[in-house]
A and B are shown apart, each in its own frame.
Chain A
Amino acid sequence: MELLPYYAPLIPLLAASILSPFTKALREYKRILNLSLVITVASHIISLLLVIMPHGLLWISRRPVLVTSFLRTTFLSSLYVDYISVFFICLALGLGILVALYSMHILKEDDAPELYYSLLNLVMASLFLLFTVGDLISLFASWELMSITLYALIFLRRSEPLSLEAGTKYLIMSATSSAFIIYAISLTYGSTGHLDFIGVQRALSYEGDLSMVYLAVIFFTVAFGFKAAVVPFHTWAPDVYQETIDPITAFLSGIASKAGIYALLRIYFLIFPLPGLDVFISFLAAITMTLGNITALLQKNLKRLFAYSSISHIGYILVGIAVGTPYGILGALFHALNHALMKPLVFFCTGELRRGYESVSLDKLEGFGRVSHELAFATSIGLLSLAGIPGLNGFISKFILIAAAFGSGLAWLAIVAIINSAISVAYYLRVLQVMFRKPKVEMTARALPSSALFPILCLTLLCIAIGLVPSPFVEWLSEAVKNSLGRAPLIISP
């Protein structure tokens, strides 16, 4: 009974399996779209309740908990849960609900594929697993489950050449990254003889020669950095973000990239707490920020621009990881949260623009701000927040990150981050200017359907609210970092 919360991933999995034959059998998927949505949202809410209910996952993970498998060893199939896992789970579930809602009208209008909601549930189950597993093999399994489901979601528009091209690039790079993960796992296994997080961590302290372990960490960084779109493994991101349908773009940039961040956090701070990694990560952070921002300056396509901006924001998050102090990790987590609010917001908005004006190219969108006011307001909030204007959520976390970098002697990285913020303002501002320019052609606004309005409104309000009253979030996260890092886990054997 006390292990009930650990079965929470089964709920989206169950929903996925309910939905899949369902939609297959009834060819008229549009008729049961509403029902699928209800099942999806219900599964998300129930899992969320299992997390935050009394004696739920949140309560259990007051301190890190390691649940061993039925073999009563910590070797395989164990679960490792702490506040950081719970934070990412809640983030994914909350955003998952919004993405599911937002998909509604897009699916109704386009020629929607039947398995959409089933896949959405499946990817949520895989994320749930990913955030709770405690050994490398299970980590890889859930990682692959997520990747394969994401392939399916990205290939939804498989008859369109551009979409197919972007998807193929993603597939090849993702498969390569999987190969790197396995190789890194084999190296870890070879040098420590363990595969579960805690076992590896304990074995490391007795180890003499660490070169193989460092090689493994670099391979892991390459592989997980790929999903998070860390430069130089980012090349798939702009293509895929541009070509997939808008809810999936929001999902990829809001949640899937955070899965990469989660895995990197685990690698650096739980499994391989090695010295000397900060130089490597801060270098990655600097080039990720800079390249993302500079390339974004050149973009004409709004979705592509936001894709590059996404890359640069991953760079900011890496700054916090590079700093590595509790304050820095707090900044990284908080920025992950804020980015997961801002980016889906702007991608939802661009989705509505694509629907309303048939294009997401900046030239064609001139002056839409004068016609569709709600959309213009939400987009402006998103843009200003991304630019790090004080009073909105993006500023607070960016500020914490830069302050952490200054505080721990990485002043050069802080200065690079500040210069990057300055560069990034230029392209966010350009979008704003195009929005409010006098339109060259007659534009007519298209009313937002409620399934679009609700997620956009939610995210806009959250951006403003966190910007004005950040203290509850910052406090909880700082508690989370304090409770999660550097504490020996409580071991439970069923």
Chain B
Amino acid sequence: MLLTLFLTTSVILLVIGLYGLIGRKEMLRMVMALEIMFHSANLNIIAFALSSGFVDPIGEASVIVLIAIEACALAVMLAVMLNLYRVYGSLDTSKLRRLRW
């Protein structure tokens, strides 16, 4: 029962993240949506780790590793955003359409 609840939450988070990624044009919101997607997956792993009756150390350990890696990716994304703002003067990705075909 608890597992279903967690899994449903995770799927809802994934959908929210995907919607944010596709529907929003602002870089900052897109990065936030990405973070939501990452954490929906993390939540999934923790839920599965609990489901076997005892706390599976592999799941727990994996999630910690994953969070660390995601933090690195996030740092790079923030740095890129900073550069983007300097050059383009905004974070609106719909302005990034000089390269076509």
Binding site for B on A (CB under 8 A): 75-76, 137, 140-141, 144, 147-148, 151-152, 155, 158-159, 161-162, 164-169, 171-172, 175-176, 178-179, 182-183, 185-187, 189-190, 193, 195, 238-239, 242-243, 295, 298-299
User: When the two chains form the complex, which single residue of B38, B48, B83 contacts A190, counting CB atoms closer than 8 Å?
Assistant: B48
Residues of B within 8 A of A167 (CB): 80
Q: Which residues of B contact A76 (CB under 8 A)?
A: 58, 61-62
B80 A151 Cβ-Cβ under 8 A? yes
Residue B93 is within 8 A (CB to CB) of chain A in the complex? yes
Contact of A186 among B30, B48, B80 (CB under 8 A): B48
Given contacts A175-B34, A179-B38, A182-B38, contact A159 B80 (CB under 8 A): no
Q: How far is the CA of A137 from the CA of B76 in the complex (A)?
A: 20
Expressed in whole angstroms, the Cα–Cα distance for A76 and B88 within the complex equals 44
A187: nearest residue on chain B (CB-CB)? B44
B5 at the interface (CB under 8 A from A): no
CB-CB under 8 A from A168, the residues of chain B are 27, 80, 84, 93, 96
A contact residues around B77 at 8 Å (CB): 171, 175
Task: Judge whether B16 is part of the interface by a CB distance below 8 angstroms.
Answer: no
**Interchain nearest-CB distance for B38 vs A (Å):** 5
Q: Which residue of B lies closest to A144 (CB)?
A: B69
Q: What separation, in Å, do the CA atoms of A76 and B49 have in the docked complex?
A: 15
With a cutoff of 8 Å between Cβ atoms, the chain B residues found around residue A295 in the complex are 101
Q: Quick one: which of A140, A147, A179, A298 contacts B34, CB cutoff 8 A?
A: A179
Chain B interface, >50% SS class: helix
Given A137-B65, A171-B80, A176-B37, answer yes or no on A162-B99 (Cβ-Cβ < 8 Å).
yes
Contact B27 A179 (CB under 8 A): no
Asked if A140 meets B58 with Cβ closer than 8 Å, knowing A162-B98, A165-B99, A175-B73, the reply is: no
Establish whether residues A151 and B76, one from each chain, have CB atoms under 8 Å apart when the complex forms.
yes
Whole-angstrom distance between the Cβ of B44 and the nearest chain A Cβ: 4
For B36-80 the 0/1 string (1 means CB < 8 A from A) is 011011101101110110001011011001100110110011001
Contact A243 B99 (CB under 8 A): yes
Task: Identify 18 new A-B residue pairs, CB closer than 8 A, beyond the known A164-B84, A176-B21.
Answer: A76-B62, A141-B69, A144-B69, A148-B73, A151-B80, A164-B88, A165-B98, A171-B77, A171-B80, A172-B93, A176-B37, A179-B34, A182-B38, A185-B41, A189-B59, A190-B48, A190-B51, A298-B101
